[in-house]
Amino acid sequence: MPERSFRKEVEQLTLGHGETFHGEGILAVTKALLQSGVSYVGGYQGAPVSALVDVLGDAGDLLRKLGIHLETNANEAGAAAMLSASVNYPVRGAVTFKSIVGTNVAADALSNLSSPGVVGGALVIIGEDYGEGSSIIQERTHAIAMKSQLWLLDPRPDLQLVVDLVEKGFELSEASNTPVLMELRIRVCHMTGAFQCRDNRQPEFNLNNVIPEPVFHKDRISLPPATYVQEKLKVDVRWPAALKFISENKINEVRDGTASDIGIVMQGGMYNHVIAALRALGLADTFGNSDIPLYVLNCVYPLVPDEVENFCKGKRAVLVVEEGQPNFIEKDIKALLSDADIKTRVHGKNVLPMAGEYVAGVLMDGISQFLGLAKSAKVPAAPALKTVKTVEERKRVAMDVLGEPVPARPPGFCTGCPERPVFGAINLVQEQVGKLHVSADIGCHSFATLEPFKVGNTILGYGLGLASSTGLSSMMKNPVVSIMGDGGFWHQGLTTSVANHVYNKDEGVLIILKNGYSAATGHQHIPSTGTNSRDQASSMDIAGALKGIGVEWVRQVPSYRVGRMVSALKDAVRAKGKGLRVIIADGECMLARQRREKPQTAQALAAGQRVVRTRYGVDEDTCTGDHSCIRLSACPTLTIKQPSDPLRTSPVAHVTNGCVGCGNCGEVAHAAILCPSFYRTDIVQNPNWFDRTLARMRAAVISALAPKSEVRT
């Protein structure tokens, strides 16, 4: 059950020339691919670009009509390797994945793709996940582009421009025989807007019109001596061709201003932030007309020397707005101006933070400092500095009113998440066997490293939880416990982690959290879902794969059965000398389950059918107020309240109406031998005659047995 359906958006993919498309940025890119005559598309799920493959998955009929092949790749390396189709054949292909982790995984394939170059256009749509809203390490794609000589587009946040640059990206790739990266920041992917469509283009070679004969060129194989020739072609032929195309097609934009003696150079993705800051400083209007000239780099690599020199020539100073570190663009501009003997002073990281997201408030401060140093004759610094000072004063007033900073709100597990009881079980086991070193992994389960569980000593990459334990596995008193989701298992955990562990006869314990989806990125299907994105049976099984690769100790335990999980984990920890021990914690993602069951329940209720809903509660007369249940389960619906008894002063545990009936609270309380205060309630809607009769009988028995005072109450 995917996070959402794109059936409505799919209808817009059929729009033709002159019609208007309304939607999100990443969906606009999807339409642009169809307009560009792409022959094949692939990708690996990851925010903020997951929707590209998701929406194409819902557009099966349209893709079959156009003859486009769609592939849901096992990982980012597999996606990048797909682009080899464009090395020898005039077919356009596009793949997508999250960066920077995705480009790291795909780096080997991208290097080997870039070296021989491509004949057909090859485009990599990258979700650039940098900044305060990021969920990953803070790095940028720019270094990957420079390392492998891949051209990098960073479009200004405007849907029409983004769509146009998709097609221009393919043309740039073909003109320079080089793969092109297009980074889309999270705000670009999710911004909504409109653009004028063009007709979808059926590619010359497609599923309905196949390539007649295979083509072989030994010079396009990444082996010496061909690699030496390929490197020379990169510099002598492909680089100049790219510069010529970028310049002639005006990929970058220059926006004139009234102050000719200063200017701002920026990454295209930074444009909206820069304009917001200039507006706040009174230096730009609502429509983006700026007093300061702007040079917008929609292609951030390579830079076009003539464009840079022409923009900077005659100016006292320019400010380079380059988010992230290292400051590649700023250094390149300084080198270009030095070589051209242009004396313009270049500012950047000297007035802006070295790292971190450049939101409007940060840029306001940096631009005002730049104006103070530039000493422009047409844009005085005093008004801008005064505005920034006023903003800072307002912040101080706000802090005085609050009294203290707003508390941090770290991410956590969803209500009813089947992974929460597993980490509760790990903490219970540690009370009995001693502290365990836990090698964590990428996924929803990484939230367990935060309070209240605090389980997980390191995170090294997706599917690498077990691989990251090998350096310690022979040097710890207790065996290292590694965590891995089923998404990570199929991504690279089976080969990089499990196969390596078995091959080296290493000791260790692995817990595979099988929730059935790539849950953190929108519930895309994976092999253990049971079906692929086309709803075809996958017939792939984690336990079977483990046994096939040589793992002998495998146990499958329902995630919510905390007692059984504690027992299995203790056995695994104590089974020294038996190699790798694997526990498969089996529990469907609760969000996916709710998305599937709620419409069914609503439909049944509307039809007058009997529906039973389970939830849990706490008997406040029995609750001791210890609250260990809250610390061990960490369920958002398990909280505290003041007791009804006026003689009791300490709060008691309480389950709110958000309870989804997973039973974790009661299970963990029972496994920890805490207290019997949890109870289960079955709420019957549209009850039948038997339910009503049974309810009356129970009420009568309770009334007869209860004290008269309680009956009156």
Beta strands in 456-507 (DSSP E): 458-459, 481-485
pLDDT tens-place string over residues 165-174: 999 999 999 9
Give the total number of structural domains in the chain.
Answer: 4
Looking at residue 134, its pLDDT comes to 79
**Cα(657)–Cα(650) distance, integer angstroms:** 22
Residues 456 and 584 in one domain: yes
Q: Are 263 and 230 part of one and the same domain?
A: no
Are 151 and 242 contacting, i.e. CB atoms less than 8 angstroms apart?
A: yes
The set of residues, in sequence order, having a beta carbon less than 8 Å from that of 699 and lying 6+ positions away, is none
Which residue in 257, 261, 268, 344 sits closest to 292, CA to CA?
257
Q: 598 CB contacts (<8 Å, ≥6 apart)?
A: none
Tell whether 268 and 174 lie within a shared domain.
no
| CA–CA distance, 62 with 31 (Å, rounded to integer) | 12
Domain extent, residue 366, equals 253-402
Q: For residues 206 and 269, state if they share a domain.
A: no
Examine the domain organization and report whether 170 and 53 are in the same domain.
Answer: yes
User: Which amino acid makes up residue 645?
Assistant: D
Residue type, 377: A
pLDDT attached to residue 263: 96
How does pLDDT run across 523-579, given as a tens digit for each residue? 888 888 888 777 788 889 999 999 999 999 999 999 999 999 999 999 999 998 889
Dihedral angle over CA of 601, 586, 134, 441, nearest 10: 180
**Assigned token pair, 33:** 């691919």
Say which residues have a Cβ less than 8 Å from residue 398's Cβ, sequence separation at least 6.
Answer: none
Question: Which of these three, 592, 623, 638, is where a domain ends?
Answer: 592
For residue 7 the two structure tokens come to 């059936």
What whole-number distance in Å separates Cα of residue 562 and Cα of residue 565? 5
Q: Does residue 14 lie within any of the structural domains?
A: yes
Cα atoms in the Cβ-side hemisphere of radius 13 Å centred on 565: 31
Would 668 be classed as within a structural domain?
no
Three-state SS at 69: strand
Q: Which contiguous run of DSSP H or E holds residue 665?
A: helix 664-671
Q: Residue 248: which residues within 8 A CB-CB, separation 6 or more?
A: none
Are residue 466 and residue 533 in the same domain, yes or no?
A: yes
Rounded Cα distance, 517 and 346, in Å: 49
The ranges of the chain with pLDDT < 70 are 1-5, 671-674, 708-713
Q: Do 483 and 531 lie in a common domain?
A: yes
CA 338 to chain centre: 40
The CA distance from 136 to 190, in Å, is: 18
Query: Is the domain of 276 the same as that of 222?
Result: no
Name the phi and psi angles at 619, rounded to 5: -80, 105
Local structure of 153: helix, strand or coil: strand
The domain boundary residue, chosen from 369, 402, 435 = 402
What pLDDT is attached to residue 399? 83
DSSP code at position 235:
I
Tokens found for residue 334: 């300084």
Written as one letter, the residue type at 239 is W
CA angle (137, 584, 546) in 5-degree steps:
90
Q: What distance in Å separates the CA atoms of residue 599 and residue 597, rounded to the nearest whole number?
A: 6
Distance separating alpha carbons of residues 618 and 682, to the nearest angstrom: 14
Q: Distance between the two ends of the chain, CA-based, in angstroms? A: 47
The beta strands (E) that lie in 52-169 are given as 69-72, 92-99, 122-128, 151-153
Q: How far is CA 508 from CA 435, 478, 575, in A?
A: 15, 9, 9
What is the CATH number for 163? 3.40.50.970
Q: Are residues 365 and 491 in the same domain?
A: no
CB 362 within 8 A of CB 353: yes
Whichever domain contains 375, its CATH number is 3.40.50.920
E-strand stretches of 211-292 = 253-255, 262-267
Please indicate, yes or no, whether residues 105 and 242 belong to a single structural domain of this protein.
yes
Does 321 reside within a domain?
yes
Kindly state whether residues 18 and 129 are assigned to the same domain. yes
- What integer pLDDT is reported at residue 672 of this predicted model? 64
Please report whether residue 71 resides in a domain: yes
Could you tell me if residue 498 is inside a domain? yes
Please indicate, yes or no, if residue 467 is contained in any of the structural domains.
Answer: yes
In three-state secondary structure terms, 93 is strand
Structure tokens at 432: 């009995």
pTM here is 0.90
Bond prior to 126 in cis (omega within 30° of 0): no
Q: Is residue 648 part of a domain?
A: yes
At position 689, the amino acid (one-letter code) is W
Say yes or no: 573 and 626 in one domain. no
Beta strands in 186-268 (DSSP E): 192-196, 253-255, 262-267
User: How many whole angstroms separate alpha carbon 10 and alpha carbon 70?
Assistant: 15
pLDDT at 709: 58
- Distance between CA 623 and CA 653 in Å, rounded? 7
For residues 429 and 435, what is the distance between their CA atoms, to the nearest angstrom? 9
Q: Give CA–CA dist 35/32, Å, rounded.
A: 5
In the block, residue with structure tokens 């017939």:
539
CA 682, 687, 688 angle in degrees (round to 5)?
130
- CA-wise closest residue to 487 among 536, 430, 529, 532: 529
Q: Which of 248, 276, 294 is the last residue of a domain?
A: 248
Pairing verdict, β 481-485 and 438-440: parallel
DSSP for 331-342 reads HHHHHHHHHTT-
Nearest partner of 248 among 309, 165, 304, judged by Cα:
304
Kindly state whether residue 414 falls inside one of the protein's structural domains: no
Q: Please say whether the beta carbons of 347 and 376 come within 8 A.
A: no
